[in-house]
Amino acid sequence: MLLLRILLLPISFLYGRIVAFRNKLFDWKILKSEKFDIPIISVGNITVGGTGKSPQVHYLMDLLRKQYKVATVSRGYKRKTKGFVEVTAQSTVDEVGDEPKQFKLNFPDATVTVSEKRAEAIHLLIKSNAVPDVILLDDAFQHRWVKAGLSILLIDYNYLQEPDYMIPSGTMRESKSGQDRANIIIVTKSPKILSPMEKRRFIEVVAPQQHQSLYFSYIHYHRLKAMTPAAEKILQEMGEIRLSEYKILLFTGIANSAPLLAHLSDICREVKEVKFADHYNFTVEDLQFVATGYRNILSNKKILITTEKDAVRLFENPAIEAMAGLPLFYLPIEIKFHDESASFNEQVLEYVQHHRNSSVSPS
């Protein structure tokens, strides 16, 4: 693997030069970012996948929906459709992608859309019969054709602890200097207990500019939710599963399962993992392989666990029949801030309110 990364370094160098030149074209106004009167919040990263964009968008939707009509625009990664599509309760993952479908399931009243072209999607939303009060752009930090009024950059806590390179040798989409475009930087997936000394060390590493706010978030795990009758039966009999008494087979199709694996390893008797690629579309053979692995675990207290994003795909997948009769659960998550949620919420809400007030003020 190390040898391959070294061999790919020339391509990474060339890619980095191309990205840097493209950013300069936007900085010099040769390529133009389109501005809109409506408040627009962008959430993204400078690395490939796994920083927690979906939970962060979920957090913002939950925060804003109490006062505003919220719309989201996502690319709809791995969907089999093209162009602008509004997500409904009946939309399939093949039509809109797993993350947008998850947003719609969790927030039925929100307008959830997918489009390769964010600016085009925003124009369509503004012209629609249900004009939103605020639009969230998912995974759009590099999408500079739209000028977001508030740009939120996510940086993985673990990523900061080791050097990285541009893709394909590493995971960086652009150089670290790109973070200067953000208004807010969030260090995600930090430990639930973060000492002041460790926090200060990371502030020095991130080195935010004067115009940037820096926050630290961590993953909060909720109670398991049943996906099969066998799992539902366990919950009905026990009320709540004490994971410390169980052996777990975890299977995932997400970019970074390490935090979840670490969490379960800390509290369970034993955890085995079967890992698939991000946004993976499980086949019958895949799930039969997982089921065989589960049956080979020697214990009368054992369960299967997957993620909520994987569950969204699995519920629509006929291959889930391979799990019939097995206790399969998914583990919902959300992000929480380290004593900073009030400050973060206030900054987001003040931006939206100020922008809306400015857009309706007479010129």
Q: Mind listing the pLDDT tens digit for each residue in 295-337? A: 999 999 999 999 999 999 999 999 999 998 999 999 999 999 9
Res 363: pLDDT = 42
Tell me the C-alpha distance between 85 and 96, whole Å. Answer: 7
What is the C-alpha R_g of the chain?
21
Give the mean model confidence (pLDDT) for residues 253-270.
94
Judge residue 208's burial from the number of C-beta atoms within 10 Å of its C-beta, 0-12 exposed, 13-18 middle, 19 or more buried. middle
How far is 43 from 52, CA to CA, in rounded Å?
Answer: 10
Secondary element (H or E) of residue 308 = helix 308-315
Mean local confidence (pLDDT), 35-57: 94
Per-residue confidence at 358, pLDDT binned at 50, 70, 90? confident
Enumerate the CATH 3.40.50.300 domain ranges in the chain, comma separated.
Answer: 25-218+337-356
Q: Provide the pLDDT confidence category of residue 1 given band limits of 50, 70 and 90.
A: low
Is pLDDT of 359 > 90? no
Asked if 253 contacts 278 with a C-beta cutoff of 8 angstroms, the reply is: yes
Q: In the chain, what percentage of residues exceed pLDDT 90?
A: 86
Arch. (CATH architecture) of 25-218+337-356: 3-Layer(aba) Sandwich (3.40)
Q: Is residue 187 predicted with pLDDT exceeding 50? A: yes
- Identify any residues that bridge with 146 across adjacent strands, giving them in sequence order: 34
Contact in structure between 72 and 135 (CB atoms under 8 Å): yes
Distance CA 118, CA 123 (A): 9
What does the pLDDT read at residue 6? 81
Note the pLDDT of residue 355: 87
User: Does the pLDDT at position 160 exceed 90?
Assistant: no
Highest mean pLDDT among 44-48, 145-149, 163-167: 145-149
The yes-or-no verdict on residue 223 having pLDDT over 60 is yes
* pLDDT for residue 71: 98
Strands (DSSP E) found in 163-211: 184-188
Cα–Cα distance, 140 to 118 (Å, whole number): 9
pLDDT of residue 49: 76
Q: What backbone torsions phi and psi does residue 59 show, to the nearest 5 degrees? A: -60, -45
- Which pLDDT value is given to residue 101? 97
- In the predicted model, is pLDDT for residue 35 greater than 90? yes
CATH code of domain 223-331: 3.40.50
Structure tokens at 299: 């214990």
